[in-house]
Structure 1
């Protein structure tokens, strides 16, 4: 059976109205209702009506993206289940979605988990004290320059030409100026906290207590971590997720490993937006990539 990768987006892909094309189908809508019940507030209203600024808050965006992505996967899986051997993964938050879709964490446990994850990450560093920038540069170049700076760390390796750096605001500003002088394009990111760096350690400690009470089940699909580039198992789920709070996301390495080790050249992004599809296209220009966030994507699945 041919192999394919299903990938789930992280924070930043949210937008008001995401997933609305699937609302009439019970395979999707049941999870919207369940999220409302588990979280004891109308997440559905934020997803479909906004306002945008509230949806964008980390503690709202994470459960919203997770719920929509999870629901779309249940719908899309009907088109794919007899055609492919699945490999799942995601970018940051998307890794939680992948694990839940693989059966390792129940939907109800996971939607609450990512809500708290967002809250803890937001509260780990006072607002305005941290920052993140994207650099149009190679990892090697950034590593060479960053070693001369304190309180800045590589957070994401998104492609061979895009690296995200996270850290304290004053240090990030200094590093950004330094890289501009080196001729590197610097893009400030509109984020509320410096994610995926050691400054997130308080969030890790708080999330550990929540994870201790969650049952981890057998995985129905292979799930590759973009943090460790190793496959998840029942035994390593909790520690890998916790370590991911403070460590880099190597999405570039994730895509390359699936291609080189498994021969996968079909990637299906499930969830709002097309951020991961764009990154995969840069990494593997000849890959078959489908974004499933509405009817067009579903039609493309039928033709696979």
Structure 2
């Protein structure tokens, strides 16, 4: 991931080099070479996605200096990337926070036995009732008919078993290290608080939509609060995208490996235009479209 970007772009290469210096280890080697099981560890995956996303953005801005966003959003860890792109954090400060966030969430995963499951094709009220019955939390509201639950292994198994009775078409356990965006991450949330207090946070150059509130946040104190609460809170992605559409935004650009967010958008709002780029080749296609 990102190797082609670094080989082709000096500005992307510089960001990965700066990341290695900030972290005091070779994150870039893990990102470029793997192995996959090492890269997908939360403590590595979160900084890797953060740096990769910002490297993509740096290359895009360099090629299209006229491109001026009016808002930003990111799903889960992506909210930190969005804030850094918007200037809430410097690259170095944002990376330090992300590294701590990943480490603390890894610790929380090790301390608890958690799981997550996707509920597809069900009514939101029915999924919420099922979650309450099973004693688990609503982690992600990704799109209409696509909700992720998170909690103890026992609770998630109970939710999966009870999905059919709630007329949920598909209930599938996810391959994850723990119960993200649930009460099982409470220790990580508590420990992230002091990290955010110590971090230098600025008012962003354009609004960033909070996962936890599904509202634009621009005040540094609110940014601290929402980023901390996000660790255990629900990712309200549907409402976040609806908010941006209601404000008249038409063009959305997803930067990062995969096209997950682009795939969700038509189910949230078919009227939005979404462009994606996840590597050097697709980024060049996007740049030509935007020039």
Determine if the TM-score, normalized by the shorter chain, exceeds 0.5.
yes
Distance in 2 separating the partners of 1:179 and 1:111:
39
Distance in 2 separating the partners of 1:302 and 1:127:
48
- 1:211 equivalent among 180, 183, 196: 196
1:21 Cα deviation after fit: 3.1
Contact 2:109 2:177 in 1 (8 A): no
Distance in 2 separating the partners of 1:125 and 1:44:
24
Determine if the alignment matches structure 1 residue 244 to structure 2 residue 230.
yes
1:86 Cα deviation after fit: 2.3
- 2:268 equivalent among 271, 283, 288: 283
Contact 1:224 1:231 in 2 (8 A): yes
1:271 Cα deviation after fit: 1.4
Map of 1:146 onto structure 2: 131
Map of 2:107 onto structure 1: 123
The aligned runs of 1:57-206 (5 Å cut-off) are: 57-126=41-110, 129-136=113-120, 137-150=122-135, 152-184=136-168, 185-206=170-191
1:82 Cα deviation after fit: 2.1
- 1:41 equivalent among 16, 19, 25: 25
Structure 2 unaligned blocks of 5 or more? none
Distance in 2 separating the partners of 1:111 and 1:74:
15
Contact 1:138 1:163 in 2 (8 A): no
Q: Give CA deviations for 1:225-252 in whole Å, capped at 9, x if unaligned.
A: 1220121222311111001011000111
Determine if the alignment matches structure 1 residue 235 to structure 2 residue 221.
yes
Misfit runs of 4+, over 6 Å: none
Map of 2:7 onto structure 1: 23
Contact 2:114 2:151 in 1 (8 A): yes
1:188 Cα deviation after fit: 0.9
- Shifted more, 51-60 versus 18-27: the winner is 18-27
Q: Secondary structure at the match of 2:138?
A: strand
Q: 1:226 to 1:81 in 2, by over 3 A?
A: farther
1:26 Cα deviation after fit: 1.8
1:115 Cα deviation after fit: 1.5
More helix by share: 2
Distance in 2 separating the partners of 1:293 and 1:125:
28
1:20 Cα deviation after fit: 2.2
1:282 Cα deviation after fit: 2.1
- Shifted more, 212-221 versus 292-301: the winner is 292-301
- Shifted more, 283-292 versus 25-34: the winner is 283-292
Contact 1:124 1:203 in 2 (8 A): yes
Structure 1 unaligned blocks of 5 or more? 1-16
1:80 Cα deviation after fit: 4.4
Distance in 2 separating the partners of 1:231 and 1:128:
32
Distance in 2 separating the partners of 1:19 and 1:285:
34
What number of residue pairs does the alignment pair up? 286
Contact 1:155 1:165 in 2 (8 A): yes
Root-mean-square deviation (CA, aligned residues, Å) is 1.7
More strand by share: 1
Contact 1:19 1:72 in 2 (8 A): no
Distance in 2 separating the partners of 1:220 and 1:239:
19
Map of 1:10 onto structure 2: none
Q: Secondary structure at the match of 2:70?
A: strand
